[in-house]
Amino acid sequence: MSAPYTERTVFRRPQQKPPTPAPSSQAPTPSTPSAPDDGKLLTHLLARPTLDGIMEAALAHAATLVGGTSRGYAVVRRGQDRVIAVYSYDRELVGVALSGPWSAGRARITDGSGELLGANPPEVRARLDVLGMHEIRHSLIVPLKDKSRQLGAFVLDRYTNEGFTPTQQESVARWAKAVAPLVSLFDTRDDWRETSRQLTTALVEAVESLDFDAVGHAPTVASHAQKLGRALGLSERELEEVWYAAMLHDVGKIGGEPGHALMGANFLHGAPTLTEVQKAVRHHHERWDGQGEPDHLTAEDIPLYARIIAVANTYVRVGDVARLQQQAGKALDPRLVTLFEKILQQEHDRAAPPADE
């Protein structure tokens, strides 16, 4: 099994020595703690693999910048604005489609909850009431913008008479400006991912349309393969590779059935980001006992993704667990067959009606 992928991005900033303070006979005046290094904080954010994780950590830091007692939430724009992270609010708020004062696109402080409640329909207002948000006294609204494109906003709420100062507003606005490019990066990546999946699906449908019996085969194999991958504890990136490998495992059939595994691998040869996918496509007709093709690999010498696809592909083709078991240790990885049986049994148990008491 391949090791999990990790991506590390390090931001380095030149270290400057602070100027030596001039001697003074006066005692130093109290001051607020200096802000943490933005580069280190951004590196910490990049260690989080999802947009949800980044927004949650970034929102928590925004709350520390204003100090005192506050609650908050972050919204992202996905067609409509939706809550993606919360700070000291119930997580029930996450996922709620929400309109609010951030639509103006500028940082500002509002008093009370009137603008927030007034911008939303009755059913949303009812949910906000349950969370006590009608009692908000002051809100700091800081949009997230990349160039002229609005990505979302940080919203920090106070439930006491303690307001927000211009300095606090400026600090959060500066932090939002630093975070925005990361949010935009994830936004672009998600758009690319969806487009890439759509193109892959269209290609597979075109190949499968050549054989009526094959229509829908690849998506079904991909679904089962991802179940196996999750049960094995594969990372999100590895699961994504498994999906592509399963979807494209028969793409070589565009040139006919014989040798389609090799043809499919050659088809993917020019895509360096799909190296593991290419290996899986090439070897998905290898056999555990070494009697497969094209390279007669045996047992765990066969790439993991190829072994996963072989189990999923065989099950979709034979449609029967007993016949799948017959291939364990012969054509298929016996441990993966056993694991897949457990997955199917769990699905069956969940779908079964409760027994009469």
What domains are there in the chain, each with its CATH number?
A: 38-189 (3.30.450.40), 209-350 (1.10.3210.10)
pLDDT in tens, 313-323: 999 999 889 99
Does residue 198 surpass a pLDDT of 80? no
Does 158 score more than 90 pLDDT?
Answer: yes
> Has residue 24 got a pLDDT over 60?
no
Concatenate the DSSP letters of all residues of 274-310 into one string. Answer: GHHHHHHHHHTT--TTS--SSS---GGGS-HHHHHHH
Average per-residue pLDDT in the chain?
A: 82
Residue 163 has pLDDT above 80, yes or no: yes
Give the pLDDT confidence score for residue 40 in this predicted structure: 55
**What is the DSSP secondary-structure string of 34-70?**
PPPPHHHHHHHHHTS-SHHHHHHHHHHHHHHHH-SS-
Are the C-beta atoms of residues 236 and 5 closer than 8 Å to each other? no
Between 51 and 17, residue with greater pLDDT: 51
The confidence score (pLDDT) of residue 324 equals: 94
Answer whether residue 54 shows pLDDT above 90: no
Provide the pLDDT for residue 195.
Answer: 66
> If you average pLDDT over residues 62-86, what whole number do you get?
91
Q: Between residues 271 and 94, which one has the greater pLDDT?
A: 94
Count CB neighbours of 340 within 10 A. Answer: 26
Angle CA 340–341–347, to nearest 5: 90
What pLDDT does 101 receive?
87
48: pLDDT strictly greater than 80: no
% the chain with pLDDT above 90:
55
With cut-offs at 50, 70 and 90, classify the pLDDT of residue 197. confident
d(CA 118, CA 288): 64
Q: Which of 30-34, 58-62, 185-189, 330-334 has the lowest mean pLDDT?
A: 30-34
Residue 354 has pLDDT above 60, yes or no: yes
Answer yes or no: pTM beyond 0.75. Answer: no
What is the arrangement of strands in the sheet containing 149-158, beginning at the earlier edge strand?
Answer: 80-87, 71-78, 149-158, 138-146, 108-111
Say what the pLDDT of residue 79 is.
73
